[in-house]
Amino acid sequence: MNIRDYLDSTYLKTDAQAGLNESENIAVAQGFIQEAIDEGFKLIMIRPNRVALAKKMIVAAQSKVLIGTVIDFPEGKSSLEKKMEEALECIQNGADDLDYVCNYEAFKAGDIDLVKEEILKGTQLGLNHNKTVKWIIEVAALNELQIAQLSALIKNVVVSNFKEELYSSVFVKSSTGFYKTDNDLPNGATVPSIKIMLENASPLPVKAAGGVRTYDEAKQMVELGVKRIGTSGAKAIANGEESSSQY
């Protein structure tokens, strides 16, 4: 197993979150992009305002590294119109993967029609432009039943509206890595949450994001059936070391 083929190397901190000014944070982002190119990771996951930079660097390096970005991040509460505008701009700037934050609070409140519509329209936009789409459900904000129900809802919308050959391009993804939990409980992927997602999202693929910090943990996720792993410690994991990253 080449674990690099599963790793979405991730840097999503704003200037304020990183405690840096804009130029310093751009330099950090450039470092992550260059590392993804040098290490041959599957993808570099970057903020929307860094997509054009990643595209420029990857083209210049003649690299096959994919560019992913996050849409309506990290809370997923924006209108469908705003989600679509942001996604379209990212497509135009060169993104390959669109990781939408599902409006999980609307789901929890019972507004299922709103969630279904954003999944349908957001997926449609991505697939119409030959992009991979991922829906972040934020497992730390959900109980086990809700994880199962939201994973199944996404699956059902996709299966009901798109051709079977497109299923592999629509993921259910565990986490943003930015959700604030009580008592320092895990805010990313856990083995129990991933098992529930795999069971209820199939035949859609699953991405485990956050909480995977060692090669053995990454290998375990792949063996469970995960197709992508989101981490800001991709190099450490690929080298068999333990990542000190919080994501």
Instruction: List residues with catalytic annotation.
Output: 99, 173, 207
The span from the CA of 229 to the CA of 25, in Å, is 23
Please, what sign has the CA dihedral across residues 222, 224, 229, 235?
A: negative
> ∠ CA(51), CA(38), CA(216), 5° rounding?
100
Backbone angles phi, psi at 175, to 5 degrees: -155, 155
Neighbours of 216 (CB within 10 A): 12
* 3 state SS of 66: strand
* 3 state SS of 21: coil
| Helix (H), strand (E) counts: the chain | 10, 8
* 3 state SS of 220: helix
Q: Which residues are paired to 228 by β-bridges?
A: 207
Cβ proximity of 38 and 66 under 8 Å: no
Strand segments (E) across 90-226: 97-101, 132-136, 170-173, 206-209
* Residue 150 identity: L
The enclosing H or E element of 217 equals helix 215-224
